[in-house]
Amino acid sequence: MTVKMKLASAVASGLAGLVALVDVGFASVEKRWALPVPLPPQSVYLDPFSFAVLGENATFRNNSVTDYFNPTNTAAPFFQIFDPSFATEVLGPNPSFQRIAYNPGYAYAHEAPIYMADTNEVYFSSNDGGPLGYSSWYNNSVVSKINMTEVEDAINVAGGSPVDVNIQITTLSLPDTVQMNNGGTGPYYGNLLLVNSGRATLPPNLVMVNPNPPYNTTVLLDNYFGRQFNSLNDVKVHRASGNIFFTDPTYGYLNGFRPAPEIPTQVYRYNPATGAVKVVADGFYKCNGVAFNPSETVAYVSDTGISGGFEGTDQTLPATIYAFDIDPLTQAFTNRRVFAYADAGVPDGIQLDSLGNVYSGTGEGISVWNPEGTLIGKFFLNSTAAEMIFAGPGRLVILDETTLYLAKIQAQGIDLAYP
């Protein structure tokens, strides 16, 4: 879309706060909007000019994993706005941000969030092989769910958002075919679609899970022509073609619950109509999250290269989301380019809203980049969040390991249901 078309559609959709567009000679959409007055609740505006020059006496950050960017030293959770469009397009006039479940001793909410609209529940998995996950070579991780109707009821009883509530989660008793679940999407024919990292010599796999008791599973794929994958990490369905795309980094080995890698770190495509599996992208340190833009012509893949498990952190490696075109014939991910480099921690799971803004879990919460790859804002948690999911219109559920957060915002997620 051209800037003019975007402006026209924005005007047509009645968004307030439009400012005159400065013609800078290329299609910049940044700062199209005036900052709302007052700012949305729980938010802080950081004009990029306010920290563009810090001066020789400043305290600079030297560790992106432990030193966070919070110049106003605001208590989490809050919204950090770098571009007015984060306020006008993503947050809307009346957002809220709160805890909905927490257990400080247990990282029960790590990855694989799936929203099932028909029961209004969010499914997620505990940390596999990492801190407070209580899972290892010998011990599987677990999948749980939270009932969003109970969450809303409790918030209403407590007087309305934002107010912290602590809702009981339900842990699923899954068959042994699900080992170290790390990625998920759905609903997929009414099921959860999970990718599992495998554990010890038990193979990584792609599995459909009945979301209701007895939680029976159907394994779709557990090898590449007889060879095991390393430790499958994340998955999305390309809805236009029906094909399933998933990533395979080496975190099972790096977190001590899988043998040494025997196959490159790659992104794969599984065709459920034919059973065929093929590689669509390689050349990553650790490919991680995967997602598509709203028109499903662009693929995003994060590379969490800096996080090396027992090998430690190397800040000179990628903490980067790459964008690709999807080749119409082969569906290979082509024309690789840098989309965004996370300023804190690593960009892990990726989700998109209906406007094409890209959300990823990073070292200090959720970062949001506009379709041009400019950071427009953060859901600031002051701790690492790997994943998040839109749980119905205007609700973003954030997985912060020991805590689940709910942000009520204006943005809507793209539809992930298939068919």
What residues line the site for ligand NAG (CB under 6 A)? 70, 73, 75-76, 119, 121, 134, 136, 139, 142, 147, 149-150, 153, 191, 208-210, 216-218, 382
- Asked if 346 and 319 touch (Cβ cutoff 8 Å), the reply is yes
In whole angstroms, what is the distance from residue 184 CA to residue 163 CA?
A: 29
Burial 70-107 (b: 16+ CB within 10 A, else e): beeeeebbbbbbbbbbbbbbbbbeebbbbbbbbeeeeb
The distance of closest approach from Cβ of residue 72 to ligand NAG in the complex, given in angstroms and rounded to an integer, is 9
Which of helix, strand or coil describes residue 151?
helix
Least CB distance from residue 353 to ligand NAG, whole Å? 26
At closest approach, how far in Å is the CB of 372 from ligand NAG?
Answer: 30
Under DSSP, is residue 259 helix (H, G, I), strand (E, B) or coil? coil
Minimum separation from the CB atom of position 150 to ligand NAG (A): 4
* Distance in Å, CB of 331 to ligand NAG, minimum: 25
Closer by beta carbon to ligand NAG, 121 or else 234: 121
Q: Is 13 left (phi over 0), alpha (psi -120 to 50) or beta?
A: alpha
Please, what is the minimum distance in Å from the beta carbon of residue 68 to ligand NAG?
Answer: 6
Tokens of 11: 């005007």
| Closer Cβ to ligand NAG, 106 or 341, answer by number | 106
For residues 153 and 311, which CB has a smaller minimum distance to ligand NAG in the complex?
153
Within 13 Å and on the Cβ side, how many CA atoms surround 347?
A: 29
For ligand NAG, give the closer residue by CB, 28 or 210.
210
- Please name the residue ranges forming H helices in 174-331: 251-254
User: Would you call 251 exposed, middle or buried from its count of C-beta atoms within 10 A (0-12, 13-18, 19+)?
Assistant: buried
Residues in the chain: 419
Of 119 and 374, the one with the shorter C-beta distance to ligand NAG is: 119
- Nearer to ligand NAG by C-beta: 48 or 175? 175
Distance CA 229, CA 204 (A): 6
Q: Which residues contact 8 (CB under 8 A, 6 or more apart)?
A: none
**Number of Cβ atoms within 10 Å of the Cβ of 172:** 18
* Shorter beta-carbon distance to ligand NAG: residue 300 or 418: 418
Phi-psi region of 183 (alpha: psi -120 to 50; beta: other; left: phi over 0): beta
Q: How far is the CB of 17 from ligand NAG (least distance, A)?
A: 29
CB of 364 to ligand NAG, least distance (A): 8
85 versus 307: smaller Cβ distance to ligand NAG: 307
CB nearer ligand NAG, residue 218 or residue 354: 218
Within 8 A by CB and 6+ apart from 53, the residues are none
In the complex, the smallest distance separating the C-beta of residue 123 from ligand NAG, rounded to whole angstroms, is: 11
